Amino acid sequence: MRTYHYIPLFIWTYMFHTVDTILLQEKPNSYLSSKKIAGLTKDDGKMLRRTKRGWMWNQFFLLEEYTGTDTQYVGKLHTDQDKGDGNLKYILTGDGAGSLFVIDENTGDIHAAKKLDREEKSLYILRAKAID
């Protein structure tokens, strides 16, 4: 009888902090009217606000010593800033990235390209980046 062991795979997601601009109504403030802050004055009538990206990720598990011919699907990375128009590129770094673990840079799908053995290595820490 064959038993399966699962190897934990942690995906730590890091990203470049990019700035998405959102126009806001300017509130009257005597300090803003007398000083120029970050290139904006009262006459500009617009303020910019920085927003962070939200990530959706999980801890992934794989079959140990998978004997199939295809790559083993690990999971999918996704950020709420990905509109699906191909402007965002996913990059994977860390233990085995690019050789053992491969990522589709357009969709964020992660696959294991080789057989994993828990006795050889039981934990892989990877970092994912989304660049626009």
- How far apart are alpha carbons 132 and 124 in whole angstroms? 26
Residue type, 71: T
C-alpha of 48 from chain center: 24
- How far apart are alpha carbons 92 and 102 in whole angstroms? 8
Q: Specify the pTM.
A: 0.55
Query: E strand or H helix at 130, and its extent?
Result: strand 124-131
Per-residue pLDDT of the chain (132 residues; tens, 9 = 90+): 444 444 444 444 333 333 343 344 444 444 444 444 555 555 555 677 766 656 655 667 777 778 888 888 888 887 877 777 878 888 999 988 999 999 999 888 899 988 888 888 888 888 888 888
CATH architecture group of domain 1-18+53-132: Sandwich (2.60)
Q: CATH 2.60.40.60 spans which residues of the chain?
A: 1-18+53-132
